[in-house]
Amino acid sequence: MRRVILGVLALVVIATGLGVHVLAPGSFATDAAGDVLYAVLIYLLAAIVVPRGAWAIALAWCVGVELFQLTGLPAQWGSPWTLVFGSGFAWTDLVFYSVGVALAAGVDAARFRRSRRAAPSGSVGE
């Protein structure tokens, strides 16, 4: 059940991110929101595959993507690749990615702890 919930949340985050991208392009706040949502999405996708340690995978992916932008390739590839890989390096993106991963991992951990307390003895909250 956990994977289904994470999948639905991933779709919601994609829709929200695309909405932010289309409805409010070009501002620092929009860029920050996009980075946080991107990191949350990567966390959710990682958590579907690897329930424990998804935060490390998500953070590594986000940092890797940001460093990949230093090559200039994502900008050359253009859309839709720039939605996945961005277009230019910005150190502030690393901060926002960290915030997004931390928020997603924190909410996921709190929800998991809550479901384990509510579950009958011997069952796992998945």
Model confidence over 69-124: pLDDT tens digits? 999 898 888 887 887 888 889 999 999 999 999 999 999 999 876 666 665 655 55
Q: Any residues with CB less than 8 A from the CB of 47 and at least 6 apart, and which?
A: 6, 54, 104, 108
Residue 9, pLDDT > 90, answer yes
| pLDDT (0 to 100) of residue 95 | 97
pLDDT band at 65 (very low <50, low <70, confident <90, very high): very high
Mean per-residue pLDDT, 56-69: 96
What's the 3-state SS for 6-68? HHHHHHHHHHHHHHHHHHCCCCHHHHHHHHHHHHHHHHHHHHHHCCCCHHHHHHHHHHHHHHH
pTM for this predicted structure: 0.82
| pLDDT (0 to 100) of residue 51 | 84
